[in-house]
Structure formats: structure tokens, C-alpha cells
């Protein structure tokens, strides 16, 4: 667990302790971290965003300082958990910002609870195509838990973490994100964390890649402002998925950040905070209309997967 400059608060919901940071005033901004991370991934941008927003950054169940029970780790289950946390905090509507796996949770939250979602910001998000780094696919394989138990023994873990952090300082694209990877790897020393991450990954990834996609529901973003942010040199989820988002949701705002990897909010925090702030300022919050939602569902939309080849495998019926 990386150090945090902000007070971590706790709430027990459904008998499970959930950790979160809540700072600032103004419209609510919900920050959802990625797989194996926690709220500290947002530390570089929280203070800037908190000048204008009420920032809520939870540790998702199974991550960080939150409990790691045997529980529902599907994107739907996470969306429900986030809804319940906001309800207890007395927050009715939010702009949701989701990074990587958290982007998939953000999309699911917007789909399940459109009446509570004002805008959607996807950061190097899952759910926009099948491709994903082999390291994540490996988590689904038999023996992962046992192998990581050995790989995270103190001597091996300390040497590996130190090596990753040293390599991350090199001016190379392929080593850019290794400091963050080192933090995730270090968290696997906790058997409960390994079990939780394995359940999370198996819900969204198989040996071919991502199996959860927003392609068949992207048309619903016609009723909600959406911004997509990606690092041009992302080696975890390819930047081409930002193009998939643009093809599936033509009204989405797409921002590609040069000299950035899978964590653009950490590589260029000031630019990232400005993108989010400008997006919120320049768009009207979505206003839920059951009649409009009903009409969108009735009309439906089948994406032209020929125009988005990367989605052909992931789109049902393709």
C-alpha cells in the first residue's frame, strides 16, 4: 500500500469494511482505480481536482485497505458496491472516472444507474476490445495462486520490486509503468489479495483476452457525456482501443496523451486534471429520462464491427 496524503475513512457495508478518501467541495467526482491498485493511484491528481470537486476515491473490495472476502467480484457486483457507498455518503449523482478495470466498473455503473451518473470518463479503460497484456491473462491460469505465493516470498519479492522500480527510471517506453506494476506485485504477498484479484480477472478475462465489452451498449452513451483518455505508449491495453471508443460512441471526447503509458493520470497529472476539469465545465450533466432511456433501448444499436475489427471477437453475435 503506497503512502497517502489524505485521511482514509472506513464504512462497513454488507458486513465488509470499505476504505475510501473523500476530500474537497463541489460537484461529486468518483475515482475508480484499476486492477490490483487502490485509491493511492489517484494521489497525483486528487488535490488539483479537490479544488473544484468533492472527490471520492474508494479502495474497491478486494483491494487496498478494503476487506478481501469471498464475494461477488464481477463488474456488476462492483457497480452495486459503489452505488451503496455513495448512498451511505449521501451522494446522489456523480461524474464517474474509471481507470483500466475501474473503467469497466464505471461503464457498468453508468449502465445500471443512469439516474445517478452525470458524466463518464474512461482512462485506459477495459471493455473496449479484447486485447490485454499477457501478464493479466496469466492470472486466469491454474497454479497462479501457488506460483505467486512462491514469487512473493520476502527475499524474492524485495529483489523483484527493487529491480522493477530501478527499471522504471530508465527512459524506455516498455519500462515506463514498472513502478506501478511493482506495487501491484508487492500486494500479492497477501493471500487474500491474490484470491480476490484472481476472481476479478476471471470475471472479465480469459486466455484469449477481455471477454466483457461495452460494444453492444455503447449507443446508450448518446444520453450521457463521455470522455476517453489514453496514454499513447500504453503497453497494458493498446491505445487503439481509444479509437474503438470513438467509433462506438461518436460523440465521445477522446484525448490521447503523448509520452504516457497505462497511467496517464500519474505520468501527466496536471494535464490530466485539466482534461477532467475542462470536460466537466464544458458539458451539461446527463439528466435521466426514463422515456428517453426506453426509446434508446427499443431502437437499439448494433455496432458495425467491420469498422472496429478489434471488437469482432468480443461483440456478441459478431
Contact yes or no for 310/208 (Cβ under 8 A): no
Tens of pLDDT, residue by residue over 233-279, are: 998 888 988 888 877 777 889 999 999 999 999 999 999 999 999 99
Give the 3-state secondary structure of the chain.
Answer: CCCCCCCCEEEEECCEEEEEEEECCCCEEEEECCCCCCHHHHHHHHHHHHCCCEEEEECCCCCCCCCCCCCCCCHHHHHHHHHHHHHHHCCCCEEEEEECHHHHHHHHHHHHCHHHEEEEEEECCCCCCCCCCHHHHHHHCCCHHHHHHHHCCHHHHHHHHHHHHHHHCCCCHHHCCHHHHHHHHHHCCCHHHHHHHHHHHHHHEECCEECCCCHHHHHHHHHCCEEEEEECCCCCCCCHHHHHHHHHCCCCEEEEECCCCCCHHHHCHHHHHHHHHHHHHHCCCCCCCHHHHHHHHHHCCCCCCCCCHHHCCCCCCC
Mean pLDDT of all residues in 65-85: 92
- As a whole number of angstroms, the distance between CA 266 and CA 236 comes to 15
| Residue 4: per-residue pLDDT | 67
Tens of pLDDT, residue by residue over 145-188, are: 677 677 777 777 778 777 777 766 767 677 677 777 777 777 77
Active site residue 234: yes
pLDDT band at 80, cuts 50/70/90?
Answer: very high
pLDDT band at 14, cuts 50/70/90?
Answer: very high
Rounded alpha-carbon distances, angstroms, from residue 266 to 22, 37, 63, 176 = 19, 13, 19, 11
Tens of pLDDT, residue by residue over 180-190, are: 777 777 777 77
| Residue 302: per-residue pLDDT | 56
Q: How large a percentage of the chain has pLDDT more than 90?
A: 47
Tens of pLDDT, residue by residue over 225-235, are: 999 999 999 98
> Given 6, 39, 59, 100, which residue is catalytic?
100
Active site residue 100: yes
| Residue 127: per-residue pLDDT | 78
Tens of pLDDT, residue by residue over 102-123, are: 999 999 999 899 999 999 999 9
| Residue 313: per-residue pLDDT | 41
Mean pLDDT of all residues in 29-53: 95
Task: Of 219, 199, 220, 203, give the one whose Cα is nearest residue 211.
Answer: 203
Active site residue 262: yes
Please tell me the pTM assigned to this model.
0.86
> Given 234, 241, 267, 268, which residue is catalytic?
234
Amino acid at each position: 500500500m503506497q503512502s497517502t496524503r489524505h485521511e482514509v475513512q472506513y464504512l462497513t457495508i454488507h458486513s465488509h469494511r470499505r476504505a475510501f478518501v473523500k476530500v474537497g467541495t463541489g460537484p461529486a467526482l468518483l475515482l475508480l482505480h484499476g486492477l490490483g491498485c487502490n485509491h493511492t493511484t489517484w494521489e497525483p491528481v486528487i488535490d488539483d481536482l479537490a479544488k473544484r470537486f468533492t472527490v471520492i476515491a474508494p479502495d474497491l473490495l478486494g483491494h487496498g485497505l478494503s476487506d478481501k472476502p469471498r464475494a461477488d467480484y464481477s463488474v456488476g457486483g462492483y457497480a452495486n458496491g459503489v452505488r451503496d457507498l455513495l448512498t451511505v455518503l449521501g451522494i446522489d449523482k456523480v461524474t464517474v472516472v474509471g481507470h483500466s478495470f475501474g473503467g469497466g466498473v464505471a461503464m457498468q455503473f453508468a449502465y445500471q444507474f443512469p439516474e445517478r451518473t452525470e458524466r463518464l470518463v474512461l482512462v485506459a479503460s477495459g471493455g473496449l476490445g479484447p486485447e490485454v497484456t499477457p501478464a493479466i491473462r496469466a492470472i486466469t491460469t491454474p497454479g497462479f495462486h501457488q506460483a505467486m505465493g512462491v514469487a512473493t516470498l520476502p527475499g524474492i519479492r524485495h529483489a523483484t520490486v527493487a529491480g522493477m522500480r530501478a527499471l522504471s527510471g530508465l527512459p524506455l517506453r516498455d519500462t515506463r509503468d514498472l513502478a506501478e506494476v511493482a506495487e501491484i506485485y508487492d500486494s500479492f504477498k497477501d493471500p487474500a489479495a491474490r484470491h480476490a484479484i484472481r476472481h476479478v480477472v476471471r470475471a472479465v478475462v480469459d486466455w484469449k483476452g477481455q471477454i466483457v465489452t461495452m460494444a453492444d451498449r455503447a449507443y446508450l452513451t448518446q444520453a450521457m457525456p463521455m470522455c476517453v483518455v489514453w496514454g499513447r505508449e500504453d503497453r497494458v491495453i493498446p491505445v487503439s482501443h481509444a479509437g474503438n471508443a470513438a467509433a462506438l460512441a461518436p460523440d465521445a471526447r477522446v484525448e490521447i496523451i503523448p509520452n504516457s503509458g497505462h497511467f496517464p493520470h500519474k505520468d501527466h497529472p496536471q494535464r490530466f486534471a485539466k482534461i477532467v476539469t475542462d470536460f466537466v465545465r464544458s458539458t451539461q450533466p446527463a439528466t435521466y429520462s426514463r422515456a428517453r432511456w426506453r426509446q434508446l433501448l427499443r431502437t437499439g444499436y448494433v455496432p458495425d464491427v467491420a469498422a472496429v475489427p478489434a471488437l469482432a471477437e468480443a461483440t456478441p453475435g459478431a
